[in-house]
Structure 1
Amino acid sequence: MFKKNKFRKSIIALMIALTCSISLTSGAGAAQAASQINSYQDNKLNLDVKSAIAIDANSGQVLYAKNANKTLPIASMTKLITIYLTLEAIKNKTISWDTKVEPTSEIVKVANNLEYSNVPLKKGHLYTVRQLYQATLIESANGAAMCLAQAVSGSQVAFVKKMRAQLVKWGIKDAKIYTVCGLPNGNLGKAAYPGVSKNAENTMSAVDMAIVGQKLLAKYPEVLKTTKIAHMNFKDGNSNTTMINFNWMLKGLSQYDSSLKVDGLKTGTTDAAGACFIGTIKKNGGRLITVVMGAKHADGTDPSRFVQTKKLLNYIYANYTPVVLSKNTKINNHETMKVIDGQALSIPIGLNKKTTLWDPVDGKKLSSSMKYSSVEAGVAKGQIVNSYRFKSGSTKLISIDNPKQMEVQAKALQGTNKANIFVRIWRWIIGKE
């Protein structure tokens, strides 16, 4: 009996040791992968910001990163989450563009505080969701963003909880969100998030902020029709408020550069955050998303965040060549894939969607490999069956979804049913499988 118990304890101890070993190895792998993004190519560009990242909007390929995993205040970049959830509500028909919203007394106080970016809202007046949406994106109007939250969820607190839940769905788990507009919690007066310090601010990493931009552009690309507007009037009865976009890189504004035609997305500024900017640009067939956080902000005329964004964009265009691959493209040497027990022994495969690869300008050849060598029958046409992986020389391309090596989905360009038992037996007999 003693020997039996001793043996059992030894087995349990061994299992625990193996489990711990696997967990530690897995954790170390995750940490190593995260660190690859955090400082990717940061020694090649001296950006004067606390953190930054540049990715391809479609594939998520990481092209540059500086302290990209560091959690920092995001200020009004927060509003992109608010805009996403507003567009979701419109899509789901819980509100419409013409839904009218009356601001609460708390919102009116925020909207008329000249220390914040705003359009003045009035008690007893009604504003359409369209007006509020435009004011939020163009003028970065805090009161307008709060009105959108009220329209969607009925209260600021309920909407904040909705924001948090959405971020978790996107895999963003270390964000801290307290306000729908990005102001410090105490600046919202009675609309502040309860039980939290008045100094509490929304915080995320540059990686996470890039994910927000990527998700927004993927599902609601029409947002660019508004984010690219430099000037617009906000009409309230007989009065007009001229809105000027805080993204000074737009045409007609002070930091416009005809070679860098940025068309979005959102700035953010608080004392704690410094000057922040998540931008996007389409050029040479590819769309980029850039994030700079904690740039200098000497005063309201300081263009530092845009100067640093230009520096980042020029670095990308000088050091990468975009290779645009159309949907259904077959990758050389990986045009087909073996099918196990299929009526067809192999099927043609190709890219699931249009993809831009940014090939480093390093004189090395861009090459690819497949994640899987075969697939089980039956296979439907259009089914995702594999992933392509890419390298430049021996250097793996990485993405925010796959920090160890970027993967691009491949689909079946032709389907095949499972072969019947007699065919499978015959193949086994003749050695043709």
Structure 2
Amino acid sequence: MTFKHKFNRIIVALVAIVLLMLPAVPISAATQVPNDYNTNQLNLNVKSAIAIDSKTGQLLYGKNINQPLPIASMTKLITVYLTLTAIKEGKLTWQTKVKPTDAIIRVANNKDFSNVPLHVGHEYSIKQLYQATLIESANGAAMLLGQAVSGAQVPFVKKMRQQLTRWQINDAQIYTSCGLPNKDVGADAYPGAASQAENELSAKDMAIVGQHLLTDFPQVIKTAKIARLDFIDQNTRTAMVNFNWMLKGLSQYNPQLKVDGLKTGTTDAAGACFIATAEHNGARIITVVMGAAHRDGSDPSRFIQTKELLSYLYRTYRPIIFTKNEVITGLTSMKVHNGKARQINIGIKENSEVWAPINGAKLHVELADDQVEAPVKVGQTATNYLFKAGSAPLISLTNPSGVRLPAKAFQRTTKVNFLVRFWRWLFGG
């Protein structure tokens, strides 16, 4: 390298230092998740629908997924999440007993709503109420869970809103812990809200709720898949039948679809809604349909639409399963910037999956970043594997520009000192 070239590099270095001191230019907003995805291949008879992978959030199907709509009793999954969180944190146990208020008793004994009766002076365990909420969609039981967690309905509803905000769901409308319209919970109506106000989320956001619930509390499936169970209140038994008719033993069961959860919802404004989950070839799917037909209590429309959606998914995609520490051929290492070691070996950080089109373009994998900054620790996320079908990125709810799986470092390396870094930059090598 000539003296002139070395001098030019030193000048460039000084300019770079000056540029680093200038104010940063704002980065444009991330690509938004499309409102419709593959609706040209399947147009369901619902107001809104979505299908995602439960781990990665990979978007497999979407129809009007960003529009907030009434969610009715699908609300109860948020209540269940907060109940399970309180148990995990030691604030409640499955054996904790609670007594219903007069307002909850009036809701629980209203035969116009899905319920199990609750009685004055009786105590009910968290486990009983949890089962009644998931299986019978009991509104009084869900409200009593909210009372157990937060002491009363209004602070619990505020807690629900805060939880949704933590999940970056910012356009939700939440007024009741059970999903009934505000006017139907009597003295527990949310203050300042219209009597007709109902809980609203988009299909995308409802899928995110289901994703968090299944990720943080996968044991919820053990209860959600129970088709029938008795609710025992002292000397009285109330037979509970799951409103998810796609479970084994119920009228819409299909052994090929393997649905084992999660929750239905119905009001006049919402129509018939259903958030479902099913395992398929080692992976798990979450689907949501909202605003399906609901002519009467025997109408199976939401389950018929869910069957169409799942059948479409199973014939269109196949899950490719990746196991922890697996390496991807051709992408087994990456460069290290300013590291003592110039490159490190990498592999899959955690068990995961990617849904690849069966008859579409070939699945292509690349590194989101081909270089990591030193120092590097063993096990840290060094980069991400980015997946495409041909040249088109596979879409994720969290990464609309492409499905990403974290790649972890198999080796450690320290960072070289400033003089070595400057020498490398100046002279290369």
2:111 to 110, 114, 119: 114
**Aligned mate of 2:356, from 353, 356, 359:** 359
Tell me if 1:309 matches 2:300: no
Q: What is the CA RMSD across the aligned residues, in angstroms?
A: 1.8
- How far, CA to CA, are the matches of 1:243 and 1:96 in structure 2? 23
> Which residue number in structure 2 is paired with residue 386 of structure 1?
383
In the alignment, what sits opposite 1:5?
A: none
Deviation at 1:430, TM superposition (A): 7.5
SS at structure 2 position matched to 1:136: helix
Q: How does 1:63-102 map to 2 (within 5 A)?
A: 63-102=60-99
Structure 2, unaligned stretches of length 5 or more?
Answer: 1-22
The normalised TM-score by structure 1 is: 0.91
Distance 2:56 2:402 in 1: 12
1:255 to 240, 252, 276: 252
- Kindly report which structure 2 residues correspond to 1:277-288, keeping only aligned pairs within 5 A, or say none: 277-288=274-285
Q: Secondary structure at the match of 1:44?
A: coil
Q: Which amino acid aligns with 1:26?
A: S
Provide closer, same or farther for how the CA distance between residues 145 and 422 of structure 1 changes in structure 2, counting only shifts above 3 A.
same
Deviation at 1:46, TM superposition (A): 2.0
User: Aligned letter for 1:379?
Assistant: V
Matching residue within 136, 143, 147 for 1:139: 136
After superposition, what is the alpha-carbon deviation per residue over 1:176-202, rounded to whole angstroms, capped at 9, x for unaligned? 000000000000011111111110000
Aligned counterparts of 1:168 and 1:422: Cα–Cα separation in 2: 46
Shift of 1:58: 0.6
Please identify, of 347-356 and 308-317, the stretch whose mean Cα deviation from structure 2 is larger: 347-356
Q: Deviations over 1:354-394 (max 9, x none)?
A: 11111112342111121112111111111112111111112
The one of 328, 348, 361 aligned to 2:325 = 328
Deviation at 1:71, TM superposition (A): 0.8
Establish whether residue 182 from structure 1 lines up as the match of residue 179 from structure 2: yes
What is the deviation of 1:429?
8.4
Give, in angstroms, the shift of residue 321 of structure 1: 1.4
Cα distance in structure 2, aligned partners of 1:274 and 1:430: 69
Corresponding position: 1:232 with 2:234: no
Give the residue type in structure 1 aligned to 2:262.
L
Unaligned runs of 5+ in 1: 1-18
Residue 219 of structure 2 aligns to a residue whose secondary structure is: helix
> Normalising by the residue count of structure 2, what TM-score does the alignment of the two structures yield?
0.91
Cα offset for 1:426? Answer: 7.6
Q: Structure 2: how far apart are the matches of 1:46 and 1:381?
A: 47
How far did residue 427 of structure 1 move?
5.8
Of Structure 1 and Structure 2, the greater helix share is in 1
Quick one: distance in 1 between partners of 2:401 and 2:375? 31
Instruction: Give the C-alpha shift of residue 404 in structure 1.
Output: 2.2
Distance 1:212 1:365 in 2: 31
1:96-115 Cα offsets, whole Å, 9 max, x none, are: 11110000000000000000
Number of aligned pairs? Answer: 406
1:150-177 deviations in whole A, cap 9, x for unaligned?
A: 0000010000000000000001000000
Shift of 1:418: 2.1
For 1:42, what is the secondary structure of its paired residue? Answer: coil
Match of 2:407 in 1: 410
